[in-house]
Structure 1
Amino acid sequence: MSTATRGTLAAGDRGRAAGAVGFDYVRRAGWAADERLRFDPAGTERWPRDHHPVQTVTVHHTALAVAPDPAESMRSVYRLHAVENGWGDIGYHLVIDPAGTVYEGRFAGGEPSAFGITPGPEGARCVTAGHVGGHNAGNIGVCLLGDFTESGPSDPARKRLVEVLRTLCSLAGVDPRETVAYANPVTGATARVRGVAMHRDWPGDTSCPGEAFAAGFEPLRDSL
C-alpha cells in the first residue's frame, strides 16, 4: 500500500458530466488510518475487496459533529465502521470536510481512490463499500463530515462535492439526473434512483443526508 499522503483523481473532459477536471485528496496514510484494523489476528483481511461496474453515486452526511482536526473525525468514523460495526473498514469511498478537503475512504486495493482499477473507455468498476444497506455493489458513496439536519454544508464543502461528483460521473459514465434501474450484481436487489442520489432516495428508513441538505439537493444535482 502506498505511503504517499496526497493523490489526484482526474477525469478531463471524458464522460457525460460537463466541466469535470478532477480533484486532490488526502490518502489514507495522510489521515493516519490504522491499517491494522482491516485485518484479523491471523492477518486475514476482514472485508475482502470486490469490484463491480459503477451504476450510481450516493451522497451522505455523517450526522456527527466535526472535530477541530477533521482527520480525527475520519479516524473516528473509520473505527466506528471497522471495529464497532465489525465491517473491517470505513463504509464510504470518499469523505469531504467543511473546508472542502477530500479524504480517501474504503481501501480500494490500488489507484485511483474509490476505484482501485484505472477506469477505461468502457466505464469504471468501484470497490464495494458499505453505505446503503443491500445496495452497495456498483454504488460509490460520497460522505460529507457534519450534521445537516438544521443547516446545510459549508460553501467550500458544497463546491468540492460538485467537483467530486462531476469527476466520478465522468469517469464512470453516469448521468447524474437520469433514473437508473440499479441491480445489485451480487444479491439481485433492485431499486430505481437517479444517477446521483441521496441516501434517503434508496429503500430504507433514513433522513440522510439531513433535512436542510436535502431541501437544496435538486439544484446541486442539476448543476452537474
Structure 2
Amino acid sequence: MWSRRLVLGVLVLPLALLVFGDGPASRAPETERATGPRPPRGLPQPALVSRRDWHADEKLVREGPHYTGAARAVFVHHTGNPNDYDCADAPALIRAVQRDHIRQDGWDDIGYNFLVDRCGTIYEGRAGGVGRAVLGAHTKGFNVDTVGIAAIGNFGEGVAVPKPMLDALVELAAWKLRPGADPLGSVDLISTNDESRFDEGQVAGLHVISGHRDSFETRCPGDALYALLPELRERAAKLRATVPGHSAAARLRPSL
C-alpha cells in the first residue's frame, strides 16, 4: 500500500504541466499598490479557508501583494490534479501549487486569487486580503482588474464537475465581480502580454466570466467545466440581481 506522502506526490505531479500557461502579474499603478480598492458592500462574503488555515508557506513568498481595480472579469481555471483526491488533502495540493508557482515559475506567490475543491470549499489564494482587489498571476496578459479562480481537479471532456464545486464557483464569482458588472455580458480588456491570444495593447472582447482558454492557448479549464460556464454565468447573474446596484440593469460602462 502506498504511503500518504507518496499518494500526495502522485496527485501534485500533473501541476508541473499546467502552471506554464499562467503568466506573471502586471504591476498596478503606483497609487493602487499600497492599499488597493475595497469593493462596496453587496453580496456577503462566502465562507472560505484562509491562508493561515491551509498553512500557506509565507516564507516562500518573495514580495508583498500588489493591487488593481475591482474585478471587471473572472477567469476560471483548473489545476490538473486527479479528481479522486480526499478533500482533506486539498490544503496539501494547494501548498504544492504555491511551491510550483514560486520555485518553478518565479512568481511572488501562488498565482490564483482563489481555489475551490470538489467538496465546494473555497480557499484564499494569493495574499493581500480576500475582500480586496489583489493583483494575481493567473491569466497571462489579463491579470489587471480581474480575478482568477482555480477548480482543484482535471475537468476534461466527459468528466463530471461536482455540484458543490460549481455552486461555490457561482457564489464566489458573483461576490468578487464589481458592482454593476453583468455576469452574462462581455467586457473589453487590454492585453498586457504578447504571449496571450492577443498582442500586447490589443483590446480583447471577452466574457465577464471567461475560461482560461478564452485568452490563452490552453485547454484549461477543461472541456467539461468550460461547457458549464453558461450555467455559471446565469446563476451568478440571478444571485447578483438580489442585491441593489449589482444587477445587469446597473451595469457600469467599461473604461479602458
Q: TM-score range by the shorter chain?
A: 0.7 to 0.9
- Provide TM-score, normalisation by structure 2: 0.67
1:183 aligns with 2:190: yes
- Aligned twin of 1:139: 146
Structure 1 residue 177, shift from structure 2 partner: 1.3
Residue identity matched to 1:84: Q
Q: Which runs of 5+ in 2 are unaligned?
A: 1-38, 194-199, 237-256
Which runs of 5 or more structure 1 residues have no equivalent in the other structure? Answer: 1-9, 15-19, 40-44, 116-125
Higher share in helix: 2
Structure 1 counterpart of 2:231, which letter? Answer: P
**CA–CA separation in structure 2 for the residues paired with 1:26 and 1:153:** 21
Looking at structure 2, the residues matched to 103 and 48 of structure 1 have their Cα atoms a distance apart, in angstroms, of 17
Letter in 1 for 2:190: A
CA distance in 2, matches of 1:155, 1:211: 16
Runs (4+) of structure 1 moved beyond 6 Å? none
Determine what percentage of the aligned residue pairs are the same residue: 32
Match of 1:192 in 2: 205
Give the partner amino acid of 2:227: A
- Is 1:209 the counterpart of 2:218 in the alignment? no
Q: Deviations over 1:90-111 (max 9, x none)?
A: 1100100011111000111xx4
Give the aligned residue type for 1:49: H
Match of 1:174 in 2: 181
**1:54 positional shift:** 2.2
Aligned to 2:82: 65
Aligned-residue offset at 1:182: 1.1
Distance in 2 (alpha carbons) for counterparts of 1:32 and 1:97: 16
> Counterpart of 1:198 in structure 2: which amino acid?
G
Structure 1 residues 23 and 38: alpha-carbon distance in aligned structure 2, compared to 1, 3 A threshold: same
Alignment RMSD: 2.4
Contact 2:82 2:153 in 1 (8 A): yes
Match of 2:60, SS state, is: helix
CA–CA separation in structure 2 for the residues paired with 1:52 and 1:185: 15
TM-score, structure 1 normalization: 0.76
Describe how 1:1-224 pairs up with structure 2 within 5 A: 14=42, 20-39=43-62, 45=63, 49-65=66-82, 67-68=85-86, 69-108=89-128, 111=129, 113=130, 115=132, 126-149=133-156, 150-169=158-177, 171-183=178-190, 188-202=201-215, 204-224=216-236
Aligned to 1:3: none
Retained in 2: the 8 A contact 1:56–1:138? Answer: yes
Q: State the shift of 1:48 in Å.
A: 5.4
